[in-house]
């Protein structure tokens, strides 16, 4: 209460009434308000009653009193001040009228009921219980609407080719559509950022290789925190290798090296973007062999495929090239994997060719925004592990140039950390940089 107003109240009230008022305030543990600034209202019939209603920060408090007559049959009220709300007391119970109990608490018609601590705790606990029940119910019913699956590269590329059969299978299993949304560009950063910053409710997922969640953060600044994405399940490891256009001449890995060294800068290698898995494989090739081959980054593997088939570029290392190897338009020079491909049993691995530790592994996974309920992640992981072992999915992955890998949630989380450390060492050793 403003000091001037307090003085006017003291002058207007007899000592017993003032004492009763102070006693009442102490009993209710009323916190005093900041002083009222500005000119005070003129004295009212009940001068000690001030309303603390405010109209926003910095606005003046309004002084009110019950000087207007009550309607017929209605009780006359004095308005007294609490910290954040106005409380009324029936006329005649005001200390000015000589009452000793200015704040009757028994009759709910005489003053609005103050929220008691026990009631507040009951409501709070109830709200928390309702919230927990609601979340549990939502997780149990998931998915009850279509799930958006972001592929951070253009349609038709290696990631897209792996993602689509998986989305078809998950749609059949869960009874809701898993819809592929291609958001290519910036080596996959655009789509990955959208997924990383999506609501962690299980309705936005990311299907990507280890390029954007693992590799790119090691090479450049990215517009998202890599830890904002959680791996859900391994979808398959890429089993492919370097290919060269059939018109160039070389048919083996050694012949390609001889040609590149004899014609420095003449061969051009196309990748799905700077910092992607194919780009890192190209960098490792240069580091291990010393060849001079030009790097041409594309928006996605599908765009690079168009140019290699028209001989605008001469080399690639993407799963989408394998059907054209079988068609005789491209030659497969090696296998970037620990084992030979069952589809190309005569093509040796890099280790067999004398270049151990020259590979940059590429693995596809399903990712979710960190904070997505673990129950949802477990359901997805369990279903993907189950489907990975079916003959139908094995065949679809083989056609996409990938091999299934079985891992639990905890296993893939640990693998992600190991792969990140290995890639960091590889990038440092090969002195790989991107502009």
Show pLDDT as tens, one digit a residue, over the chain (435 residues): 555 555 554 555 555 444 444 444 444 444 444 444 444 444 444 444 444 444 444 444 434 444 444 444 444 444 444 444 444 444 444 444 454 444 444 444 444 454 455 665 666 656 565 555 555 555 678 999 999 999 999 999 889 999 999 999 999 999 999 999 999 999 999 999 999 999 999 999 999 999 999 999 999 999 999 999 999 999 999 999 999 999 999 999 999 999 999 999 999 999 999 999 999 999 999 999 999 999 999 988 999 999 999 999 999 999 999 999 999 999 999 999 989 999 999 999 999 999 998 899 999 999 999 999 999 999 999 999 999 999 999 999 998 889 999 999 999 999 999 999 999 998 998 888 886
**pTM value > 0.85:** no
Residue 11, CA distances (Å) to 5, 115, 372 in order? 10, 33, 65
Torsion region of 357: left, alpha or beta (phi above 0 gives left; psi -120 to 50 gives alpha): left
For residue 364, which of 179, 216, 158 has the smallest C-alpha distance?
158
Q: What is the pLDDT of residue 357?
A: 87
Q: What is the pLDDT of residue 70?
A: 44
Q: What is the pLDDT of residue 4?
A: 53
d(CA 384, CA 365): 10
Report residue 132 as tokens.
């927990």
For residue 244, which of 296, 311, 341, 294 has the smallest C-alpha distance?
311
Question: Helices (DSSP H) in 374-408: which residue ranges?
Answer: 374-388, 391-399
| H/E element, 284 | helix 277-289
d(CA 218, CA 198): 23
Q: What is the pLDDT of residue 104?
A: 46
Question: Please, which residues bridge with residue 332 across strands?
Answer: 243
CA 337 to chain centre: 32
Residue 56, CA distances (Å) to 52, 61, 339 in order? 12, 10, 71
C-beta separation of 410 from 258 below 8 A = no
C-beta separation of 291 from 280 below 8 A = no
Tell me the CB-side half-sphere exposure of residue 362, using CA atoms within 13 A: 26
Residue 349, CA distances (Å) to 67, 247, 272, 324, 331 in order? 96, 23, 22, 20, 15
d(CA 327, CA 308): 14
Q: What is the pLDDT of residue 433?
A: 85
Q: What is the pLDDT of residue 230?
A: 98
Q: What is the pLDDT of residue 89?
A: 44
Residue 166, CA distances (Å) to 211, 217, 229, 291 in order? 19, 26, 19, 38
For residue 401, which of 152, 160, 155 has the smallest C-alpha distance?
160
Neighbour count for residue 274 (Cβ, 10 Å): 18
Q: What is the pLDDT of residue 430?
A: 87
Tokens 């559509």 locate to 177
d(CA 326, CA 311): 17
Q: What is the pLDDT of residue 10?
A: 55
Question: Does a cis peptide bond (omega within 30 degrees of 0) precede residue 235?
Answer: no
d(CA 279, CA 271): 6
List, in order of start, the domains of the chain with CATH numbers.
1-114 (no CATH), 141-235+368-424 (3.40.190.150)
d(CA 362, CA 187): 15
């Amino acid at each position: 209460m403003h000091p001037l107003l307090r003085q006017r109240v003291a002058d207007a009230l007899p000592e017993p009434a003032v004492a009763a008022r102070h006693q009442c305030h102490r009993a209710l543990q009323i916190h005093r308000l900041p002083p009222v600034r500005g000119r005070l209202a003129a004295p009212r019939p009940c001068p000690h009653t001030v309303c603390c209603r405010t109209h926003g920060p910095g606005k003046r408090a309004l002084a009110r009193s019950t000087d207007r007559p009550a309607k017929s049959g209605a009780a006359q009220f004095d308005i007294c001040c609490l910290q954040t709300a106005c409380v009324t007391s029936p006329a005649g119970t005001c200390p000015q009228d000589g009452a000793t109990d200015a704040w009757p608490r028994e009759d709910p018609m005489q003053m609005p009921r103050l929220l008691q601590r026990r009631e507040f705790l009951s409501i709070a606990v109830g709200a928390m219980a309702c919230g927990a029940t609601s979340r549990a119910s939502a997780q149990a019913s998931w998915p009850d609407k279509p799930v958006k699956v972001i592929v951070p590269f253009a349609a038709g590329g290696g990631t897209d080719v792996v993602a689509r059969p998986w989305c078809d299978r998950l749609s059949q299993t869960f009874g809701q559509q898993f819809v592929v949304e291609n958001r290519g560009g910036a080596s996959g950063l655009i789509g990955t950022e959208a997924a990383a910053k999506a609501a962690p409710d299980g309705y936005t997922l990311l299907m990507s290789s280890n390029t954007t969640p693992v590799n790119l953060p090691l090479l450049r600044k990215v517009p998202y925190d890599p830890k904002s994405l959680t791996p859900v399940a391994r979808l398959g490891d890429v089993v492919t290798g370097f290919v060269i256009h059939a018109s160039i001449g070389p048919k083996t890995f050694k012949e390609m090296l001889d040609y590149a060294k004899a014609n420095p800068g003449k061969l051009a290698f196309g990748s799905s973007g700077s910092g992607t898995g194919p780009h890192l494989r190209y960098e490792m090739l240069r580091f291990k062999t010393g060849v001079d081959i030009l790097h041409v980054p594309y928006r996605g593997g599908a765009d690079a495929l168009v140019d290699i088939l028209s001989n605008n570029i001469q080399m690639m290392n993407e799963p989408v090239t394998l059907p054209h190897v079988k068609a005789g338009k491209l030659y497969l020079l090696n296998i970037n994997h620990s084992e030979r491909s069952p589809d190309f049993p005569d093509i040796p691995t890099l280790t067999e060719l004398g270049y151990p530790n020259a590979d940059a592994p590429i693995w596809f996974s399903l990712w979710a925004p960190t904070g997505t309920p673990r129950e949802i992640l477990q359901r997805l992981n369990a279903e993907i592990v189950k489907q990975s072992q079916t003959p139908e999915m094995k065949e679809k992955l083989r056609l996409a140039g990938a091999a299934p890998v079985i891992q639990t949630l905890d296993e893939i989380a640990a693998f992600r950390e190991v792969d990140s450390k290995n890639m960091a060492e590889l990038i440092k050793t090969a002195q790989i940089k991107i502009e």
